Amino acid sequence: MPPTPLSWEYVDGWSEESETIREARERGEELGAIALSRPSAALLRLLAATVNAQAIVEIGTGAGVSGSALLSGMAPTGVLTSIDVEAENQRVARETFTELGYDHTRARLIAGRALDVLPRMSDAAYDLVFVDGDKTEYPAILPQAKRLLRVGGLVVFDNMLWSGRVADPAERDAETMALRDTAAAIKMDDDWMPALLTVGDGLLVASLRDRT
């Protein structure tokens, strides 16, 4: 039996957030960088903690909501590398991280297009890759994420339900098709152990079992 609207409301409000994060959400909306949901942020934190992440790549910095969740879950000495095409997003995210008490060395912010930056990053050097950028780039980002992750690491793609469009065969726009292609590619690759979750706008989480 699917959750009722009241249950969804309960889940959305169950995870507490600081005033700093609430302000970051508001500033993100002003910038056009809509943050992931509270339950999605809570899950990101849990996943980072589960793999004891020392090094994380984030694609789509926004106003720092997702980055803050990742920083709070990863190892105390871990470093978040966050990539965003908008330098203003990263300026706001840096303020968010600072207000939360994270040292500036904990977050490396890179302004640029993910597909230009990722190829310059080291193989098998990261524990988690979180993707919440340009949806049309998701299929091209997937092999880069596979290269960057250690075996046992996690890739997490946000917006994989895309407000119901992915499940609707009539929807054929470029973003929706790219999301479907990404989900199919992970599902068909035995190197991944995936799960598609109805958290927020849909999270696709996959553990890298092998690299062939």
Residue 168 maps to which CATH number? Answer: 3.40.50.150
Please tell me the number of Cα atoms within 13 Å of 56 on its side-chain side. 38
How many domains are contained in the chain? 1
How many Cβ atoms from other residues are within 10 Å of residue 52's Cβ?
11
Report the distance separating Cα 104 and Cα 97, nearest Å: 8
pLDDT of residue 11: 86
pLDDT tens readout for residues 44-68: 999 999 999 999 999 999 999 999 9
0.75 surpassed by pTM: yes
Q: What is the mean pLDDT of residues 163-171?
A: 96
- As a whole number of angstroms, the distance between CA 190 and CA 147 comes to 15
Instruction: Name the residue range of residue 148's domain.
Output: 5-208
Give dist(CA 85, CA 206) in Å, integer: 25
Return the closest-CA partner of residue 28 out of 83, 77, 93: 93
Write the pLDDT tens digit of every residue in 142-160: 999 999 999 999 999 999 9
With 90 as the cut, is the pLDDT of residue 39 above it? yes
Q: pLDDT grade, residue 35 (50/70/90)? A: very high
